[in-house]
Amino acid sequence: MPYGLPRKIRKAFIVQALLASLAVLLGGYLMALVLKYGLLNALLHKEAEYYWQQRALVPDLAPPNTHNIRGYLQPAGQAPAAAPAPAAVPEPLRALAPGFHELPSSDELVLVDQQAGERLYLVFQRSPAHRVVFWFGVLLILLAIHAVSWLTYRASWRLVAPVSWLARRVSLWDPRHPDAAELAPERLPPEVQGETRQLALALHRMAGKVTDHVARERNFTRDASHELRTPLTVIRMASDMALADSGLTPRLQRSLQRIQRAGRDMEAVIDAFLLLAREVDVEPQSELFDVGEVVRYEAANVEELLQGKPVQLRVLVEGNPMLMAPPRVMHVVVANLLRNACLYTDAGEVEVRVTPEQVVVRDTGIGMSHETLARIFEPFYRVDDGRQQGVGLGLPIVRRLCDRCGWRIALDSVEGQGTTATVHYR
C-alpha cells in the first residue's frame, strides 16, 4: 500500500515539523530585528538623552563608558580626530551621519546624536556570546519540535498499525474465495483492539456469508442444471419415438418438431448456466463450429414469432465464418437477440448479418430511449410497454455469457426507429 494511512501520517508529521521549524527560524529572525532596531535603538536614545541632561549640569562630563556601551564626544568646532587619543572618535564612526547605524564589519550598533554643534557617538558592543546563546536556544527549540513530532508520530503509528495490518490482509483476498481465516477472533494479533477489532470481526463474518452465498449459488446452478437434463432426455427420446410413427398428421408432426427444438434450446440454456457457474479461471469447453449455421438455426426457430406481422426476416452470411468457442453459448446469445428483435418489431424487417468478426442483429422496431438503453443490461429490468415479455433476464445473461467467452456486445438504439445489437467475437 504505497499510499496507505501510515505514509499519509508520516508525510503529515514531516510537513508539520518543517512548518514549525520554519516558524521558529522566522520568529528568531524577527526577534533579532526587534531587538536590534527596536529595543536597542530606544535604549541608546534614552542613554543619549540622559547624557545630554547630565552634561548640562556638569559641562566636563565624560561620555558613557560601560561594559556594553562606549561613548565618544566631538565638541563643537573640533575635528573628530583632534581629541586626545583615548577620546578620539574612531575612524569607522567619523563618516556617520546623525541617526542609528549598524557596522557589519565590527558587529556594532551606533547612535550618532547631535545637539548645539556637539556630536555624541554611542556604540553598543554586541557580545558574540549573546548571539551564540540566542541561536543555540533556537536550535534547542527546533530539536524539541522534531523530537515531539517524532514521538507523536510513533504514537500515531502504533494507533494506525492495526488498521494497516487489516487493510493489507483484506487486499490479499481473492474476491471469489475471500479467505478470512486470519480474521478469526482467536487469530487476531493482541494489538488489534477497539474499533479495529470490531471491524476485523465484521469482515470475518461478512466474508463467511459471501463464501456461503457464492457456494449456494453455484451449487444450485450446477444441481438444477444437472437435474433438468433428466426430463429433457426423456422428452427428446419420447419425441424421437413419436416422430418415427409414419401415421402422424402434419400438424402433430410440426408440434413434435417444435418440442424437439425447445428441448435442444433448453439444453443450450443449461450448458450456458453451467458455464456461468464454473470458476472464471476454468476455460469453457470449446469446439470449432459454423457461426452462420447457428444463426440460420435460431432464425428458423423465431419465425413463428413473426406470424401475422408484416415483418421480413433476413439472414445474410458473409463467407464461411468458423469460430472456436462453446457453440451452445452462441445459440443462447443469438436466440435471445433474435427473440427480442422479433418481439418488439411490428412492421419492417429483422436482419441478421454474420461476418468473420461479428454477428449483427438489426430491427426496425420500437427502439429504446437513452434511459432504457442505459439500464437494459440490469437484471430484472423490463421495458413496460404492455407486451408479453419474460422476467428481464435475457440480455443480462447474454452479456455475462459474452464476457465469459471474451466477446463484446454493444447495443445501439433510437426510439421509434429500431435497435442494432452487435456481438464482436473476434
Q: Please list the ranges in the chain whose pLDDT falls under 70.
A: 1-10, 28, 32-37, 77-87, 105-107, 126-137, 174-177, 225-226, 277-284, 380, 382-393
Question: For the segment 225-251, what is each residue's pLDDT rounded down to a tens digit?
Answer: 667 777 878 888 888 888 888 788 888
pTM over 0.75: no
Cell numbers 483492539 correspond to 193
Beta-carbon contacts of 26 under 8 Å, excluding residues fewer than 6 positions away, are: none
Helices 128-171 and 5-34 sit at what angle, rounded to 10 degrees?
Answer: 170
- Residue 312's nearest CA partner among 274, 283, 351 is 351
> pLDDT at position 136, please?
66
Beta-carbon contacts of 346 under 8 Å, excluding residues fewer than 6 positions away, are: 309, 311, 365, 366
Residue type for 124, please?
A: F
Between the alpha carbon of residue 142 and those of residues 13, 19, 20, 23, 145, the distances in Å are: 14, 11, 8, 10, 5
How far is 258 from 301, CA to CA, in rounded Å? 8
> pLDDT at position 295, please?
93
> pLDDT at position 42, please?
85
Tell me the domains of the chain and their CATH numbers.
5-145 (no CATH), 175-282 (1.10.287), 287-424 (3.30.565.10)
Residue 125 · residue 70 · CB < 8 Å: yes
- Residue 206's nearest CA partner among 183, 226, 227 is 183
